[in-house]
Amino acid sequence: MSKIKKGLLIGIGLASVAKREAKKVLNGLEKQGRLNEPKAKKLAKSLLKKAITKERKLQTMLKKELVRDLNSLKRRVKKVV
């Protein structure tokens, strides 16, 4: 499996786990009375915004890695041909 595919799968898995865990934490705080619903929603939106930013950075990094790998492959093919 390529590094890029592994990276994408890891990113998807981490996003899924992070979302589930954030929901658990927010629900727990709300049940304890430490966070009311409007504040929980605001915090959830903030966390989502940060997650989207991190996801975009990961995508950019993976694209750069892909371009680098493709360029390396092109150089190897040219040497063989």
Alpha carbon distance 44, 38 (integer Å): 10
Which pTM does this prediction carry? 0.56
Distances (CA, A) of 31 to 19, 26, 28, 34, 40: 18, 9, 5, 8, 11
What is the per-residue pLDDT for 1? 64
What is the per-residue pLDDT for 30? 82
Mean pLDDT by 10 residues, the chain (81 residues): 73 79 83 83 83 82 85 86 73
Q: How many domains does the chain have?
A: 1
Q: CB–CB of 74/38 below 8 Å?
A: no
What domain range includes position 60?
3-80
